[in-house]
Structure 1
Amino acid sequence: MKNLSLNKEAITELLQPIASFLHTETPDEWLEEAIKSENFQVLLIDHLICELKASQSAMFLIRKYALDKEGGDALLSWLQPFEQYVYKREGDWRELPSKNKLSKSIIPRSDSKYGQDLIDKMVLLIKEELHHFYQVLEMMEHYGIEYKSITPSRYAKGMLRHVKTHEPEGLVDKLICGAYIEARSCERFAKLAAHVDEKLGEFYISLLRSEARHYQDYLALAESISGTDISERIAYFGKVEADLINSSDSDFKFHSGVPKH
């Protein structure tokens, strides 16, 4: 893929902190499974769902920790057309870009401990993830793949079950999990890019910068909200994430572990 080689140095530089952050590299066995033609459809559909789930997770955080009911309802309305397309097969996906905007600014509720920084970072993330959602739909249209329901991956749930139940430690843990999910996505897009056709490879490469920034935003928020050294929790979830990636997994997905045959 000649166009990708032009960006090789920039890509390497961008991926260096990702590689240092993650506790393990994606196993070769996963990549070998991912590039099989019979898994192409599920790979794109799961990517589509991952973009929506990332938006939903970020929205949950700001609705729970930073907004009043009015602000929360505005966010729900924003996301509704995307959710209806996936869960109810309603609407024309080509109209979704016009839905990816808020009708008014969002300000934190007066008693919010986490404030505008949480809102600003998460709203930007949501807008970008929903833009990626639409781009994946464009790819699915290009390759003649129709959306269908698939089973959820064990990955995110496997991480979130270790989140503490008291606050603000619970929020900090969720943000750390978000950082690992974004970092792993970035790493896998980079790995896949060299093994797919040029159009899809260029798309994956185009996602790297935003995914890398998302993981950094999650970490920065976790550190800011905690106000203490969270390196121990970061290391803990790094091990949890690595165990999920390296353990045997019978269900192939974008974030699945080592394929079980």
Structure 2
Amino acid sequence: MTAMLAAPDLDDLLPPGLLDFLPCATPDAWVDWALANPELLLIDHAQCEKKAAATAMSLLHRYVDQPLLLSRMCQLAREELLHFEQVIKLMEARGIVYRHIGASRYAEGLRRHVRGEEPHRLVDILLVGALIEARSCERFARLIPHLDAELAKFYRGLVKSEGRHYEDYLMLARQLAPEALDTRLAFFAEREAELITMPDTAFRFHSGVPA
């Protein structure tokens, strides 16, 4: 992957407020690590899209009494599965074989703090979803200036859809929360910052920095 495009301003690519929502920026060391591992980047990206669709489907099955959630998760699941299909096709065209690789500690590191009782469980899941989607969106934007034209164009499109997903998760959390979200969101944001700035031994789309 080589720099083919002029660097865009992140503010021009990302939804309003997304950078303020995230607790910190992706470290430059992760960007360099991603560019040194183009195959792993796409393989793990595909896995992330598949897992995102599975999360949306899980919410559809569990919370059948929430019409707005059902509507938004139906749309999200369709889009994430489409993205999965698109990444697989892009990989095939580049001679990259899709295979299973172990997950990073990122998503599990956030979800382990989800409370067990309702409605707090659902609110926490939605906040975690908002953070994951926002971080994905920010990382796509950080990579775009360094990618070939085809992949950069694809990631630009993903920034728009992932930005909607972040907004949907956050909107649902705010609507369904029985209390103010500030304290709980600050807690998860702190955990998120720790996960993406701590050293990791294996590169993944949501990994921290190289050890």
TM-score normalised by length of structure 2: 0.94
The equivalent position to 1:52 in structure 2, one of 50, 53, 61, is 50
2:135 — aligned with what? Answer: 184
Q: Distance in 2 between matches of 1:15 and 1:146?
A: 33
CA contact (8 A) 2:110 2:191 kept: yes
Q: Give the superposition deviation at 1:191.
A: 0.7
Q: Give the superposition deviation at 1:149.
A: 1.5
Gaps of 5+ in 1: 67-111
Q: Give the superposition deviation at 1:228.
A: 2.3
Say how many residue pairs are matched.
Answer: 208
Q: Give the superposition deviation at 1:227.
A: 3.6
Q: Give the superposition deviation at 1:10.
A: 8.8
TM-score normalised by length of structure 1: 0.76
Q: Give the superposition deviation at 1:13.
A: 5.7
Q: What does residue range 1-261 of structure 1 map to in structure 2 within 5 Å?
A: 1-2=4-5, 8=8, 12=12, 14-36=14-36, 39-66=37-64, 112=65, 115-260=66-211
The root-mean-square deviation of aligned C-alpha atoms, in Å, is 1.6
Q: Distance in 2 between matches of 1:17 and 1:142?
A: 36
Return structure 1 stretches of 4+ with deviation > 2 angstroms. Answer: 8-11, 13-16
Q: Distance in 2 between matches of 1:175 and 1:16?
A: 19
CA contact (8 A) 1:15 1:187 kept: no
Write the deviation string for residues 160-179 of structure 1: whole angstroms up to 9, x where unpaired.
00111111001100000000
Q: Give the superposition deviation at 1:17.
A: 1.5
Q: Distance in 1 between matches of 2:141 and 2:18?
A: 11
Q: Give the superposition deviation at 1:15.
A: 4.6
Q: Give the superposition deviation at 1:183.
A: 0.2
CA contact (8 A) 2:14 2:141 kept: no
Q: Give the superposition deviation at 1:49.
A: 0.4
CA contact (8 A) 2:104 2:204 kept: yes
Gaps of 5+ in 2: none
Q: Distance in 1 between matches of 2:139 and 2:9?
A: 18
Amino acid at match of 1:45: I
Q: Give the superposition deviation at 1:251.
A: 1.6
3-state SS of 1:194 partner = helix
Amino acid at match of 1:237: F
Identity over the aligned pairs, expressed in percent? 47
How has the CA–CA distance of structure 1 residues 44 and 9 changed in structure 2, closer, same or farther, with 3 Å as cutoff?
Answer: closer
Q: Distance in 1 between matches of 2:155 and 2:133?
A: 13
Q: Distance in 2 between matches of 1:35 and 1:42?
A: 10
CA contact (8 A) 2:56 2:73 kept: yes
Q: Give the superposition deviation at 1:29.
A: 0.7
State the structure with more CA Rg: 1
